[in-house]
Amino acid sequence: SLPLTEIAGLLIVVEEETCTQVREALAPRLADRLREVDEHLAALQRLRNQLDSANQRVTACPDSGAACRSECILLDDRHQPCTSRDAHEGDPRL
């Protein structure tokens, strides 16, 4: 978002200057804003990927009468979550 003072300055440029001056004033600001949006989108995509991965681990948790152990769903992709076989064979993670 632009501060109100910057918006006011841009409105003055738009109302009082030539098209060339408006372009020269707005183009760099718009390019900066696009970069900010792209960075924000990239951060949101990373978050989405992490949430998707966590969701896949949660849905892979076995049906078990044993107490749930949170490390099963909180492990990152380098570790395997518990499986139904682990639940039936007495895996120490359960």
Q: Are residues 5 and 46 in the same domain?
A: yes
pLDDT confidence tier of residue 94, bands split at 50, 70 and 90 = very low
Tell me the Cα Rg of the chain: 26
- Say which residues have a Cβ less than 8 Å from residue 82's Cβ, sequence separation at least 6: 61, 62, 64, 69, 72, 91, 93, 94
Q: Are residues 53 and 92 in the same domain?
A: no
**Residue-wise pLDDT tens digits, 60-74:** 877 878 777 665 656
pLDDT confidence tier of residue 24, bands split at 50, 70 and 90 = very high
pTM of this structure: 0.60
Q: Are residues 70 and 49 in the same domain?
A: no
The domain containing residue 70 runs over which residues?
62-94
Q: Are residues 13 and 48 in the same domain?
A: yes
Number of domains, the chain: 2
Q: Are residues 55 and 71 in the same domain?
A: no
Whether the CB-CB separation of 94 and 87 falls below 8 Å is answered with yes
